Amino acid sequence: MSKRDYYETLGVSNTASDADIKKAFRRLAMKYHPDRNPDDEEAEHSFKEAKEAFDVLSSPDKRAAYDQFGHAGVDQSVGGGGFGSSGFGDAFSDIFGDIFGGGGGRSRVRKGADLQYNLELSLEDAVAGTTVKIRVPTLKHCTSCSGSGAKPGSSPETCNTCGGHGQVRMQQGFFSVQQTCPNCRGKGSTISDPCNTCHGAGRVKEHKSLSVEVPAGVDNGDRIRLSGEGEAGEAGAPTGDLFVQIHVKPHPIFERDNADLYCEVPINIVTAALGGELEVPSLGGRLNLKIPAGTQTHKLFRMRGKGVKPVRGGPVGDLICRIVVETPVKLNGEQKELLEKLGQSMGKASNKHSPNENSWIDSMKKFFEDMKS
């Protein structure tokens, strides 16, 4: 029985690139692999065909011979159904390593973990900038063994199980799987005489003090990155980073909204009615605010450039004063009498003195009339 053309088997043209051939084989292998199609002889046959075609077309020498002489040029070099062909196991592992847990090549040292420190600041410090001392728990390279984990005068030994690769190959039927070496746990080396200080870990726990330069204008959620101040990596690998997370504490007077500051300013009814001038606070000191006659509650007064300079640049924000007209309490007899006289006087021209109140009364009357109709 004649064999199918290898290009036809993989569904590619005879000018296909190595990447196209690899992609085509991956697709077919995922579809027909025996582990995905148990007791399916037809799928197993298709998988063997695809494997044989890939074994030839993924090798430059075999592909050249096949292109010139066809199957006759490669029949002696093609395997009969196992994974014994030269170079195929590595190619197969490269294709499926990310799916089935394999990983080609030697083990890699891993960078140390990044750390996060939550830093609470007052609004004043966040706006003006400051320098803060912090103390951070971390892992550092052991100075006794220079991070190797081995006792001074000795060194880690190549793992006998994986030969220093950090991974071992397991054969499961037609499928070859690479797994992390159980002996060295992927490091590729073992320590027979561990360091007395770190007990073979290569790292020790410590607390370190750092100075954090907080730039002016930071806000809640901003992060400051301190490169190389995280945990030390295993086996002398690079150190991770420290991220300082900013949390601005609530302020008793101001609320911040991006570059603007809001301040609630209570005033009495006399100032609201007649107008006046009063002092209001800002982060830069006292400011004078003019209140026009007839000012109502929730009136906003904007003081340009008295807010925050954003940390990422841009114009300085504003200070926005929100007026709250305060009703007088604990009045004495004379004060009550004066307010009653004022009320009687204003009642003669209520439309003029209380336009919002009269407008609301008119709306309420219309509402009840509509309910009756």
CATH of the domain at 266: 2.60.260.20
Q: Does the pLDDT value for residue 87 go beyond 70?
A: no
**185 torsion bin: left (phi>0), alpha (psi -120 to 50), beta (else):** left
pLDDT (average), residues 254-269: 94
* Residue 260 pLDDT grade (very low, low, confident, very high; cuts 50, 70, 90): very high
Q: Are residues 49 and 96 in the same domain?
A: yes
78 is a domain residue: yes
109 is a domain residue: no
173 is a domain residue: no
Q: What was the pLDDT predicted at 77?
A: 42
Highest mean pLDDT among 3-12, 73-82, 146-155, 161-170: 3-12
List all residues 6 or more positions away from 288 whose beta carbon is below 8 Å from its beta carbon.
Answer: 277, 278, 279, 280
Phi and psi at residue 67, to the nearest 5° = -60, -30
Strand bridging mode 130-141 / 203-214: antiparallel
167 is a domain residue: no
Highest mean pLDDT among 170-184, 185-199, 306-320: 306-320
pLDDT (average), residues 315-323: 94
213 is a domain residue: yes
Q: Does the pLDDT value for residue 91 go beyond 60?
A: no
Name the residue range of residue 220's domain: 115-156+191-248
* Residue 85 pLDDT grade (very low, low, confident, very high; cuts 50, 70, 90): very low
**C-alpha–C-alpha distance, residues 236 and 139, integer Å:** 12
Q: Are residues 221 and 276 in the same domain?
A: no
* Residue 125 pLDDT grade (very low, low, confident, very high; cuts 50, 70, 90): very high
| 95 Cα distance to chain centroid | 29
Write down the mean pLDDT value for the chain. Answer: 81
Q: Are residues 92 and 121 in the same domain?
A: no
**C-alpha–C-alpha distance, residues 335 and 280, integer Å:** 28
**C-alpha–C-alpha distance, residues 166 and 178, integer Å:** 10
Q: Are residues 146 and 44 in the same domain?
A: no
**In 3D, which of 241, 225, 203 has the Cα closest to residue 114?**
241
**C-alpha–C-alpha distance, residues 78 and 66, integer Å:** 11
pLDDT (average), residues 128-144: 87
**79 torsion bin: left (phi>0), alpha (psi -120 to 50), beta (else):** beta
Q: Does the pLDDT value for residue 364 go beyond 90?
A: no
**C-alpha–C-alpha distance, residues 356 and 221, integer Å:** 42
State the Cα angle at 84 between 81 and 88, rounded to 5°. 95
Q: Does the pLDDT value for residue 102 go beyond 50?
A: no
Q: Are residues 243 and 261 in the same domain?
A: no
Q: Are residues 134 and 220 in the same domain?
A: yes
Q: What was the pLDDT predicted at 176?
A: 64
Q: Does the pLDDT value for residue 235 go beyond 70?
A: no
Q: Which of 310, 326, 342 is the last residue of a domain?
A: 326
Please give the DSSP secondary-structure letter assigned to residue 312: T
Q: Are residues 123 and 234 in the same domain?
A: yes
| 134 Cα distance to chain centroid | 23
Partner residues linked to 169 by β-bridges: 178
Phi and psi at residue 116, to the nearest 5° = -130, 135
Number of neighbouring beta carbons within 10 Å of residue 24: 20
Residues 61, 64, 70, 74: what is their CA dihedral angle, to the nearest 10 degrees? 0
24 is a domain residue: yes
* Residue 99 pLDDT grade (very low, low, confident, very high; cuts 50, 70, 90): very low
Asked whether the beta carbons of 32 and 44 are under 8 A apart, the reply is: yes
**C-alpha–C-alpha distance, residues 44 and 356, integer Å:** 86
162 is a domain residue: no
Number of neighbouring beta carbons within 10 Å of residue 30: 13
Q: Are residues 235 and 119 in the same domain?
A: yes
Q: Are residues 17 and 84 in the same domain?
A: yes
Q: Are residues 18 and 121 in the same domain?
A: no
Q: Helix H segments across 104-177?
A: 123-128
- Count how many domains the chain has: 4
Place of tokens 């005033």: 267
Q: Are residues 61 and 22 in the same domain?
A: yes
* Residue 168 pLDDT grade (very low, low, confident, very high; cuts 50, 70, 90): confident
Q: Are residues 204 and 119 in the same domain?
A: yes
pLDDT (average), residues 103-112: 55
| pLDDT tens column, 41-59 | 888 888 889 898 898 898 8
110 is a domain residue: no
Quick one: tokens of 17?
A: 């690139």
Q: Does the pLDDT value for residue 82 go beyond 60?
A: no
* Higher-pLDDT residue of 96, 359: 359
**C-alpha–C-alpha distance, residues 236 and 233, integer Å:** 6
Phi and psi at residue 119, to the nearest 5° = -110, 120
